[in-house]
Chains A and B, each alone.
Chain A
Amino acid sequence: MTDLLLFQLRRVGRNRQYLFFTVLLPALFTIFFTKVIGGQLQPGDYQDVAGATMISMMAYGAIGAALGATIRLAFDRSSGWLRQLRVLPVPPAATLAVDVLVGALLVLPSLVVVALVGRFVNGVEFPLGTWLVLLAVMWAGAVVFVALGVAVGLALDAQAAGAAIGILGAILAALGGLWFPVEAFPAGMVPLAHAMPSYWYAELGRDLAGGTFSVTPVLALAGFGLVFAAAARLVAVRRPLHAVAG
């Protein structure tokens, strides 16, 4: 399975568009938002804004990476590769497991690059332990979006899935308060933000960065994760890997 994993990682590595949207863009946004909003603030407030922006962009990059990696299932179905694998001695479960693993692994560069930019370009300061816990927990939390991406990647054909992932990413970012903080939302839209897994994902990060911990984001994320995983499972049964696109 290691060879299949490396094979898949090498393929994604060749996709410049993917790397741009999941690593470079969140990193640039981190600098841009912080400098635009934080520029006129007092040092203490600046730290808060820079930290919150960084966490939003870590979440944004991680979500994009998780969705973008798993959508490949739809591409591989369209090209006939998934069907081809089915007549080679590769168990379907291994194919799916590898793509889940690829999604999970590719989240890490997004998180790390944005964190590095936050620390060394924007001057965000946390104790070392906080950094490590923040990265580890946000990495683990991204599995929710891997499950969502697998469900969409299996359910839709390449073109529709490509569009769906783009739209989903934008909705999760905009309504989940990753581009503009929820505090800036009109009161009527706050419940909408709270209905987004992306909000709770970033909230989890903000709690950790603030040195606090509350159980609500964890429960909310776990709930979304279970729903997405159940959906992915259902689709995988109804539309197996070797089913022909179209």
Chain B
Amino acid sequence: MPVTPALDIAELTVRYGDTVAVDALDLQISPGETVALLGANGAGKSSTVNAALGLFRPSAGRVLLHGRSPAEAVRAGGVGAMLQHGGLPSESRVGEVLALVRRRYDQPWPLADLLATTGIDGLLDRGVDALSGGQRQRVLLALALAGAPPLLLLDEPTSAMDVEARQAFWTTMRGLAGRGHTVVFATHHLEEADAVADRVVVIAGGRVVADGSAASIKSRVAGRTIRFRCAGPRGDLAGLPGVTDVGGDADRVELTTSDAEATLRALLAGPRSLPDLEVRGATLEQAFLHLIDASGALR
């Protein structure tokens, strides 16, 4: 019998008025995976996460979390979440909020371990209104973990953190993944996806446009372009080391490469002269556009 996916999204469509935020998206995530949903702002990451949590009813499609509906999963403590627009109650103390939430579960995460795991040991007596951005996110993480959920959904969890807090947060996440939790997080930072996830799902235009290991996505996303003027034959260019795409117009060649150094060495070793040579890093936006183009999602 196949294993029930931790997260099973089929044909999910989310519309806001005339805007299609998520467009018949399919995604299966197995228990224990650490998956980054990578995409630009407005790509449909948050809508996907929110629909998976039952925060609104999708226009079409189905979401199951370990075989249960979002509402059931939330009720049973089967999923913990950090929301982009989530927050803590003013005029309360961290310990009070944590106690309130832990009491909702039959088998909450043991307190001492929860505090150590999320790094909020010293904050229990602290007023919620006096927390720093990083501390606040850690408390929200503790709430997400309070029911010891097998599945964690995190929507841009580090957006309010400084670099140090960010690193500490992802160290915690790697630890959780190592303990068998399924971690799914939305981000628009390629580096985060690369550093933490063992699978990266690139979302654009409400669809999955790429899905693979961090390394394979990175090689496509972190590509560079090499341009030079070239009037002669170009048949050999596609075979150069690192080259993934040959483009340009009648006058100029534009090579997309995953290894600019190797491509350049080969070009310079060859007989061709390279007038007006330029090497540029592809921006993430370009990379997304490239991926969207390649998948034909927006055509």
Bound pair (A, B): yes
B88 touches A3 (CB 8 A): no
Contact of B75 among A79, A83, A89 (CB under 8 A): A89
From known contacts A14-B91, A89-B104, infer whether A244 and B81 are also in contact, taking CB-CB under 8 Å. no
Any A CB within 8 A of the CB of B19? no
B100 touches A4 (CB 8 A): yes
Give B126-185 interface residues, CB cut-off 8 Å to A.
Answer: 140, 143-144, 146-147
B92 CB to closest chain A CB, in angstroms?
5
Contact of A87 among B76, B86, B90, B103 (CB under 8 A): B86
Contact of B55 among A14, A15, A242 (CB under 8 A): A242
> Please, which residues of chain B bring their CB within 8 A of the CB of A89?
74-77, 104-105, 147
Closest chain A residue, CB of each to CB of B97 = A7
Closest chain B residue, CB of each to CB of A15 = B91
A10 touches B88 (CB 8 A): no
Closest chain B residue, CB of each to CB of A75 = B90
A84 touches B104 (CB 8 A): no
> Please, which residues of chain A bring their CB within 8 A of the CB of B146?
88
Give B61-82 interface residues, CB cut-off 8 Å to A.
Answer: 74-77, 79-81
Cα A75 to Cα B129 with chains together (Å): 13
B217 CB to closest chain A CB, in angstroms?
28
B57 CB to closest chain A CB, in angstroms?
11
Contact of A11 among B74, B89, B143 (CB under 8 A): B89
Cα A4 to Cα B96 with chains together (Å): 10
From known contacts A14-B91, A88-B101, A90-B104, infer whether A80 and B96 are also in contact, taking CB-CB under 8 Å. no
Closest chain B residue, CB of each to CB of A244 = B85
Any B CB within 8 A of the CB of A76? yes
Assign chain B's interface to a size class.
20 to 34
Any A CB within 8 A of the CB of B204? no
B210 CB to closest chain A CB, in angstroms?
28
Count A interface residues, CB 8 Å: 23
B140 touches A84 (CB 8 A): yes
The dominant DSSP class at the A interface is helix
Any B CB within 8 A of the CB of A81? yes
Cα A84 to Cα B86 with chains together (Å): 5
A68 CB to closest chain B CB, in angstroms?
13
Closest chain B residue, CB of each to CB of A242 = B55
From known contacts A87-B55, A89-B75, infer whether A81 and B88 are also in contact, taking CB-CB under 8 Å. yes
Cα A87 to Cα B83 with chains together (Å): 9
A84 touches B76 (CB 8 A): no
From known contacts A7-B100, A80-B86, A244-B85, infer whether A86 and B92 are also in contact, taking CB-CB under 8 Å. no
Any A CB within 8 A of the CB of B87? yes
Closest chain A residue, CB of each to CB of B81 = A87
A79 touches B90 (CB 8 A): yes
Give A1-37 interface residues, CB cut-off 8 Å to B.
Answer: 3-4, 7, 10-12, 14-15
Q: Mark A68-99, 1 if CB is under 8 A from B, else 0.
A: 00000001100111011011111000000000
From known contacts A7-B96, A88-B101, A89-B147, infer whether A80 and B74 are also in contact, taking CB-CB under 8 Å. no
Any A CB within 8 A of the CB of B53? yes
Cα A76 to Cα B87 with chains together (Å): 9
A88 touches B104 (CB 8 A): yes
13 residue pairs from A and B, CB less than 8 Å apart: A7-B92, A11-B89, A15-B91, A81-B88, A83-B85, A86-B55, A87-B53, A87-B74, A89-B75, A89-B76, A89-B147, A90-B104, A244-B85
Chain B residues packing against A (C-beta within 8 Å): 53, 55, 74-77, 79-81, 83, 85-92, 96, 100-101, 103-105, 140, 143-144, 146-147
